[in-house]
Amino acid sequence: ENQLAVGEGGGTRLRYGVFHSEINTAGKLCYLTNGSSTIWRPFAANSSTQSGSMLAAALDVDGGADEGLVLLRGFINVPQGLINGTLVASSPLYASNDTAGEYDVNLPSDSGDVVRIVGYCIDTDSSNALVWFDPDKTWVTVA
C-alpha cells in the first residue's frame, strides 16, 4: 500500500481520450463513452445504458485536455472518500449506485441497478485503500 501514492496505479494503463470535467479525482471509476467521442465519464451502477461499457480507474486527472490516462487492470491506491462502506481485506468492490465514479462494498440492490464487481480490497487504512482493480466483463441488472 505504501509503494503507491494515493490515486496512483500500476498495471495495464491506457492514455486515450479526455476526461469529463466530473473526473477530477485520481481513482474515480469511469467508462469510455459510446459513440464517436472519446470521453471518460463517471460510471454509475444505476444507469443500465452504461452497464456493458469499458471501465477504468482515472489516474492522471491533471494531465490536461488531451491526457486521459486510466488504469484498465492492476493495483491502485484509491482515496477512502471514493469508497462507500466499511472495507475488509479481500472483500469485493462494486460500482456504486449512489454516486457516479465511486466504489461500494455492498451490492447494489435497487431495481434497475447494475451489479458489477470492479475489484477487491487488498489493504486499507484511514485515508486510502489498496485495490486490485479488475472490472468484471459481465454484469447483472437487479429486477
* Range 6-23 average pLDDT: 92
Kindly tell me if the per-residue pLDDT of 42 is higher than 90.
yes
Output the pLDDT for position 63: 60
Q: Express each pLDDT in 47-89 by its tens digit.
A: 766 777 899 999 988 765 557 899 999 999 999 899 999 888 8
Helix (H, G, I), strand (E, B) or coil at 47: coil
Comparing 11-25, 59-73, 94-108, the range with the smallest average pLDDT is: 59-73
Note whether 67 and 28 are within 8 A (CB): no
Q: Which residue has the higher pLDDT, 14 or 44?
A: 14
Whose grid coordinates read 460510471?
43
- Which DSSP state fits 30? E
* Range 21-36 average pLDDT: 88
Comparing 25-34, 36-45, 68-77, the range with the smallest average pLDDT is: 36-45
Note whether 91 and 103 are within 8 A (CB): no
Note whether 115 and 123 are within 8 A (CB): no
**Cβ partners under 8 Å of residue 35, min gap 6:** none
Output the pLDDT for position 64: 57
